[in-house]
């Protein structure tokens, strides 16, 4: 399953943890991650109209971005190279949060 592979890369020790979980807990993690994960392509499209931080739920940073006009354009240009990393970091944080929730709920 591709999502399980993604989770294995994002969560240290996920495969060991998944073996100890029942099917309901694993399914909970997979479905929640599918719902909440973000992709680079929508972030790229939103970058074009300066809404990419909002896509990741970082509204405070989005407001600062707007007020400074994208760092006078410099910040905006730099962000094109950072989108992949921003997406990966967001997905990693989401995966860890979901795994912790599942561990608490299903222990």
CB 46 within 8 A of CB 54: yes
Residue-wise pLDDT tens digits, 10-44 = 776 676 677 777 777 778 888 888 899 999 999 99
**Above 90 in pLDDT, residue 67?**
yes
Top pLDDT among 86 and 8 is at: 86
To the question of pTM greater than 0.85 for the whole model, the response is no
Which alpha helices (DSSP H) does 2-73 contain, by range? 2-10, 14-20, 23-36, 40-48, 52-55, 59-67, 69-72
Query: What is the per-residue pLDDT for 56?
Result: 95
């Amino acid at each position: 399953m591709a999502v399980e592979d993604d989770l294995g890369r994002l969560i240290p020790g996920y495969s060991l943890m998944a073996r100890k979980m029942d099917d309901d807990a694993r399914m909970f993690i997979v479905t929640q991650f599918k719902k909440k994960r973000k992709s680079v392509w929508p972030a790229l499209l939103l970058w074009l109209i300066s809404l990419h931080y909002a896509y990741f739920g970082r509204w405070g940073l989005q407001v600062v971005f707007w007020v400074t006009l994208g760092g006078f354009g410099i910040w905006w240009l730099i962000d094109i190279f950072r989108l992949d990393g921003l997406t990966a970091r967001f997905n990693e944080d989401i995966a860890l949060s979901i795994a912790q929730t599942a561990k608490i709920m299903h222990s």
